[in-house]
Chains A and B, each alone.
Chain A
Amino acid sequence: MTHEPARRGSHSLDPHLHRYAARATGMTASEVRALFAVASRPEVVSLAGGMPNLAALPLDSLSAEVGELIAAEGLTALQYGSAHGVPALREHICDVMALEGITGHPDDMVVTVGSQMALDLVTRIFCDPGDVVLAEGPSYVGALGTFASYQADVVHVAMDDQGLQPEALREALAATQRAGRRVKFLYTVPTFQNPAGVTLAVSRRAEVLDICAAAGVLVVEDNPYGLLGFDGQTYPALRSMDHENVIYLGSFSKTFASGLRVGWALAPHAVREKLVLAAESAALCAPTLNQLIVSRYLETHDWKGQIKSFQQTYRERRDAMLSALEQHMPAGCTWTRPDGGFFVWLTVPEGVDTKAMQPRAVTQRVAYVPGTGFYADGFGSRQMRLSFCYPTPERITEGVRRLAGVLADEIDLLATFGPTASRLMSGPQTPSPDTE
């Protein structure tokens, strides 16, 4: 940026403006974020956030455990730890990952401040500005933010209701290579994807891995929802099928407690070495106390039973959302039908721009996330993400009813102003996973 310091007699309000790195250019106030401020008010049904529902956690026994932990191991728990992570926790994480077929070694793991930090570290050690990261379209908004902060360019790969399309992946790789671009990795949430709610079909998994291996492209598998299948079903993790070319990111945020911010990366040994060094420079270590809390929890609690309880909770909420969508949505809307995770991906009739419609939704006391947030290239204007993880089934039903009214009003408005009223600023339409 080439801004001059504030001129004499003027205020720029930010005297450091000319000093920021180019990657800070996009860090500005936005109407969309501002509108989310009302989502925290109880009058608003928020179908926007992805907050896990922690109500079923055994808070009394956890409280006692934490007290005992500090009494017995306080001098360790409150001290710096290694960047690698608490050894006992890494052992337990291997048991967790085994549920999805992964045989990992604790030495090949780095414990991080949530899997978000793990993704940050992976991007840090692999991506130079201008490198290409392939990601599903749509993709997790937090990942897109990380890639942008390292000035990596995202190329989206189309999905359908069976997840990432292998043919689209081949085409994306070929196109980027033809353009002389360097693809560093494929970032994917293959199971109960955020935001689309779809799962990469088992029959496609080996094919996706083969395509990436043949192209010399790493796979970064982000799997925070894999154990939240509503019927208790699990899918083989990509990492369980390929030890060499997959970096696996895991998290306790959805299966235990998001506020503890404990996640991990499981990586091929050489990569793990670099991740540890990167973790040291980023945070020295993940909080020792939190790691020990998770470790104790896995030792002393029926964590598998707790996950079953979460599955039941989320299944009820998913059912409420799908039923309400069926009952209330106007003609022309389609949506995904997730069998795990937190999210439904809704596609609205042609011409409706979910970002432009958002103020109307706020007025009607319902919040969602416009689809454009999940694309790095302006796509997604006809989509929105709806979360069913946090509100009660009754609130979900009410929220969907309100949303249907908002959509009906927006469709009426578009009928008034005609097809050119579709806002160009939100980018083109996009193929999107749904059930059609």
Chain B
Amino acid sequence: MSDQWVAVLSGGLSHERDVSLRSGRRLSTALRSVGLTVEEWDADSSLLTRLREHRPDAVVVALHGGEGENGSIQTIFEMLRIPFVGADSHACRRAWDKPTAKAELARAGLATPDWVVLPHSTFRELGAAPVLDAMVDRLGLPLMLKPDQGGSALGAHVVHDASELPAAMVGCLAYSETVLAERFVAGTEVAVTVIDTDGGPTALPAVEIVPERGVYDYTARYTAGLTDFHTPARLDERATAAVADLAVAAHKLLGLRDVSRTDAVVTPDGTAHFLEVNLSPGLTETSLLPMAIEASGQSLGEIYAALIDRAVARQAGDPQ
């Protein structure tokens, strides 16, 4: 176990600030419980000064959305040569953008629901109705609409009828200028956490998500009791292996590091379909990663303390 002092970065100005603050608090408590000295910092205009003056041994990013996952804050750490847990800025940029991540995985032959990506400007310039018609022709109904970037299901909509599309588009585009539309794939919804260990990226037990109201939206995610979770997921051996392989493959293909969480759907034929990957997974009381860690017989504090050790060793081995 290390004796470093670490800064846990949470809050920020993204739409997910509230979730991030809760993640940060929980992670800080977990790290203190394994003997680390922890300071909780908001990502605000004093951050650079604090990093320079106090120079933590490592930073753990518990920021969700925006600067925390799109490579921006990672670039700052890289410039200041401060060790941090998580993927480097280049990998973050690639994985944070959902369409880019899907394209990488599809290119590698992995299953992901068919999709199209369109900015608001295309609808404005070509006319919304024909573009929406073409979208439905291509993807069928129901379909999934989500902002091309962001998490916590904010702005995401399952569209069952074409008449719902315009309103869903407006709701989605309130979060981002570009929308990702996906064919809706029905099946068992799972989240698989991957942790880097000395033995390479390792998948933790998959967590199966069964929202009481059928949709795993913001309310279902952050209201204890509105979703049932099964850990490990109620999958047969082959499907269990398939989702674990998919998550590890996503982790490797996207060049991720330390920790990631892949969200996927397993169809009745046992195929695991990649939905998206999270670079700074939620760590709240209702979040999926802590459940997976618990199911693996480890503790959140132990896992992250080991990742901090890896980050410090990585920086020490690469002083330039």
- The interface of chain A, by Cβ under 8 A from chain B, is 3, 6-7, 9-14, 16-17, 28-31, 33-38, 41, 43-44, 353, 356-360, 362-363, 365, 410, 412-418, 420-425
Contacts and interface: CB of A to CB of B under 8 A. Distances in A.
A28 B223 contact: yes
Nearest to A425: B167
Given A30-B218, A413-B120, A359 B15 contact: yes
A420 B218 contact: no
Given A11-B231, A29-B223, A360 B123 contact: no
B120 A34 contact: no
Nearest to A18: B225
Interface string B88-129: 000000000000000000000000000000001001100011
Interface in B160-184: 163, 166-167, 169-171, 173-175
B19 interface: yes
Contact of A424 (B16, B167, B173, B229): B167
B128 A417 contact: yes
Interface residues of B, number: 47
A126 B167 CA distance: 41
A9 B124 contact: no
A96 B219 CA distance: 44
B188 to A, nearest CB: 13
Nearest to A17: B225
B169 A359 contact: no
Nearest to B291: A11
A11 B229 contact: yes
B124 A13 contact: no
Contacts of A424: 167
Interface of B: 11, 13-19, 21, 42, 44, 120, 123-124, 128-129, 152, 154-155, 163, 166-167, 169-171, 173-175, 210, 212, 218-219, 221-231, 234, 285-286, 291
B225 A12 contact: yes
B222 A359 contact: no
Contact of B18 (A34, A412, A415, A420): A34
Given A359-B155, A418-B128, A418-B166, A10 B18 contact: no
B215 to A, nearest CB: 13
A255 to B, nearest CB: 32
A356 B171 CA distance: 6
B51 to A, nearest CB: 19
Given A11-B229, A13-B227, A30-B219, A414 B170 contact: yes
A420 to B, nearest CB: 5
In the complex, the 8 A-B pairs of residues with the closest C-beta atoms, listed nearest first: A14-B225, A37-B18, A29-B222, A421-B166, A17-B225, A14-B224, A417-B166, A28-B223
Contacts of B129: 418
Nearest to B147: A359
B230 A10 contact: yes
Given A3-B225, A13-B224, A34-B222, 5 more contacts: A28-B226, A34-B218, A359-B174, A363-B15, A418-B128
Contacts of B155: 359
Contact of A34 (B19, B175, B230): B19
A43 B219 contact: no
Nearest to A9: B230
Nearest to A352: B170
